Amino acid sequence: MTAVIESLTDTWTLVGTVRRRAMASPDGVAMRAKRLGIWRGITWADYADHVDLVGHALLSLGIEAGDRVAIHSENRPEWLFADLGTNAVRGITVGLYPTNPATEVAYLLADSGARILIAEDQEQIDKALLVESQCPTLEHIIYLDPRGVATIDNPKLMGWEDFLDRGRAHRETDPRALEHLAHEAKPTDIVTLVYTSGTTGPPKGAMLSNANVEFASGVIVDGGGLYDPPPNPGDVILSYLPLCHVAERAVTTWTNAVSGAVVHFAESIDTVTLNIREVQPTLFFAVPRIWEKLKAAVEVRMAGASRIKKLNYVVWMKVGQGIADSMLAHGGRHTLWSRIRYSVGYVFLYRSMRERLGLRRVRAAASAAAPISPEVLYFFFTMGVVINELYGMTENSAVATSNRAGRIKLGTVGEAHPGVEVVLAEGTGEILTRHPGTFAGYWGKPEATAEAIDADGWLHTGDVGEWVGDTHLKIVDRIKDIIITAGGKNISPSEIENALKASPFIREALVIGDQRAYLTALVGIEEDTVGQWARAKRIPYTTYRDLSEREEVLKLVQGIIAKVNEATARVENIRKFRMLTKALDHEDGELTATQKIKRSALTTAFAPLIDDMYSGADRLAGGDQSDVIVVTPVEA
């Protein structure tokens, strides 16, 4: 190992931060990854060394400042090595979602003009090779996992170990190369392109600079950026959401580097529920979908529990609601009386439940990236897991507002961080933010950039918000998604959709009604929970579609909709619904990589369902407020 490069320049970089940690505590554990059953530690010195090796290897392959390196992999230590290694040579990292299908891979590689792709395994290599001809700039493909790759004959391929060996050789010949580059680094250097999820059009690559990341990292360590109270080296993080998303990058890479909290990499997305129980993180960030799934898992398992356990659950959840109410009244803090109740309930339910969910040691939790139903947050409050909902987006380095410990208001995304200006635009109510974390622009799309950032430096978020009590911001919806009914009423569909999705049985909901007389919904069931429910009720079914079109299931959905309708004003009531005929999927272009629905794609794909409701034909499986429509299969 060579000596760690000390960054003597004034420019703050993530690489420099990691190097400083490596000097201060070389043997401290920076991250752990589970391999062959054991959580293997990687020290700060290992981390910094690998970053340097990747940097040297990239130099040997001719990468220069401003060149793009794409990473197409699940979360693992190599992701971080490659990311910061690229930054160490002043290159730009482009993250791809592991679920991106080949067509999107082609778009992202071509749009970013990546010269090198770091692909995880054969699956990702296959995608890249399939669209090789569409990516003229791509020169090398580095693969992390050699399984199944040996038979592929392509001059562009190179194994990770060979890649690192190149780095070692380059370091021998030019040991000071990275040091020079570190001195040349500038605050305006772009470090990464984060592609937006693209619910409306093709994804756009948001450019984040050193200065952006510095500001965002500062907000993270000063508290409130992600977690409040702020993270420290004794904290434990589980990394499992896609790292190419700005939120997970902040949670994993940035938080780890700036606070020293130890990152644990889940084995794969399938083992997250097991891994989280092993790791028992102290800081936990999840998107609404994960929180919803956790809640559904608890409810389904309780439904199958023995009587005594059920009683125990019902009693203590009831008590928990009292605790949650009291905490909400005090901004998320315990009072003496609520703490006493919690301590007793801890013995009977909360401790074991949190342990089983992997949330036992969580001291700060957060939800962001999409709107979440207050009902879901409330559920976790009852077992003492206080989730801070926060708000930010790729374009402002995930930094805007958050709920702070002791000042939580349920249903809002909290208060602006120090140094962050948040205003609502006159008339439209659009949220505008301004701070040093505002992105440098969209890659190769100056017009789009101009639309997003105005002359005064305000970022137009595209979200409509309103103030709650002057301090807390509440997100109404995306501007483009707001429904204006034929009667002229403005309605936020996502609020109703989230209320529906709070049920463990509903996975997807799409509220329709723009320019229409009344609201309707397309509903997709959660196959696992509804399947379990159906088996318990001895309802036979074959496929997803068969299950969702069963009379009993239609009635179940009707009941859930009726309950949501009760809580909303008459104009916001869902009058009719139809069942989605398939589970929505990223591959089919119905969901984005972050599992957000693409409204326009859905309304086109399921146009017959929508027509069926508004034309009054009522022939397809679904229902209205009083009846359900059961379709009897036509004998072929």
Partner 1 sequence: MTNATKESLHTTRGRPQLFTSYSREMAIFNTKVKRNWAIVGILALVVLPFFLQRDMVALITTVLIFAIGGIGLNLLTGYAGQISLGQAFFMGVGAYTAATLGGEAKGDVIGLGLDMVIWLPLAGLVPALVALVLAPLAARVRGLYLAILTLGLVFIGEHIFKEAKPITGGAGVGRAPAEPVFLGFDLFSNQTILGYRIDRFTIFYIACLVIFLLLAFAARNLVRSRFVRSFSAVRDRDVAAEVMGVSLLKTKTLAFTISSFYAGISGALLSIVIGRISPETWNIFLSIDFLAVVFIGGLATITGSIMGAIFVVMLPKLVNTLTVFIPGAGGVGDGSLLNVFELQSIIFGLLIILFLILEPRGLYGLWLRLRNYFKAWPFSY
Residue numbers at the binding site for partner 1 (CB under 8 A): 25, 27-29, 32, 37-41, 43, 233-236, 260, 262, 277-280, 301-302, 304-306, 309, 312-313, 348-349, 352-353, 356, 361
Q: Which is nearer to partner 1, 278 or 528 (CB)?
A: 278
Q: Name residues whose C-beta falls within 8 Å of residue 195's C-beta, 6 or more positions apart in sequence.
A: 94, 95, 108, 203, 204, 205, 206, 244
In the complex, minimum distance from the CB of residue 215 to partner 1, in angstroms, rounded to a whole number: 27
CB of 278 to partner 1, least distance (A): 4
Check if the beta carbon of residue 381 is closer than 8 Å to that of residue 324: yes
If the CB atoms of residues 43 and 573 are measured against partner 1, the closer one turns out to be 43
The answer to whether the beta carbons of residues 560 and 505 sit under 8 Å apart is yes
Q: Which is nearer to partner 1, 42 or 621 (CB)?
A: 42
Task: Find out whether 232 and 260 touch, Cβ atoms under 8 Å.
Answer: yes
- Buried/exposed code over 481-519 (b: 16+ C-beta within 10 A; e: otherwise): bbbebeeeeebbbbbbbbbbbbbbbbbbbbbbbbebebb
| Nearest-approach distance from CB 487 to partner 1, in angstroms | 47
- CB of residue 349 vs partner 1: minimum separation in angstroms? 5
Q: Which is nearer to partner 1, 193 or 279 (CB)?
A: 279
Rounded to whole angstroms, the Cα distance separating 412 from 394 reads 19
Smallest gap from Cβ 76 to partner 1, in A, equals 17
**Consecutive H or E run containing 467:** strand 459-468
Sign of dihedral through CA atoms 513, 516, 520, 522?
Answer: negative
Nearer to partner 1, 301 or 582 (CB): 301
Shortest Å, Cβ 344 to partner 1: 15
What sign has the CA pseudo-torsion 610, 613, 616, 618? positive
Q: Which is nearer to partner 1, 34 or 435 (CB)?
A: 34
Residue 32 Cβ vs partner 1, minimum distance, rounded to whole Å: 7
Provide DSSP, 50-90. HHHHHHHHHHHTT--TT-EEEEE--S-HHHHHHHHHHHHTT
Comparing CB distances to partner 1, the nearer of 197 and 239 is 239
Smaller CB separation from partner 1, 198 or 233? 233
Residue 276: how many other CB atoms lie within 10 Å: 22
Task: Check the CA dihedral 337-340-345-351 and report its sign.
Answer: positive
Nearest CA-CA partner of 120 in 92, 104, 100, 91: 100
Query: Residue 218 Cβ, how far from partner 1 at the closest point, in Å?
Result: 23
> Closer to partner 1 at the Cβ: 133 or 306?
306
Structure tokens at 302: 């309780």
Compute the CA torsion angle 181, 46, 231, 339 (nearest 10 deg): 170
Distance, CA of 71 to chain centre: 17
Cβ at position 19, least distance to partner 1 in Å: 18
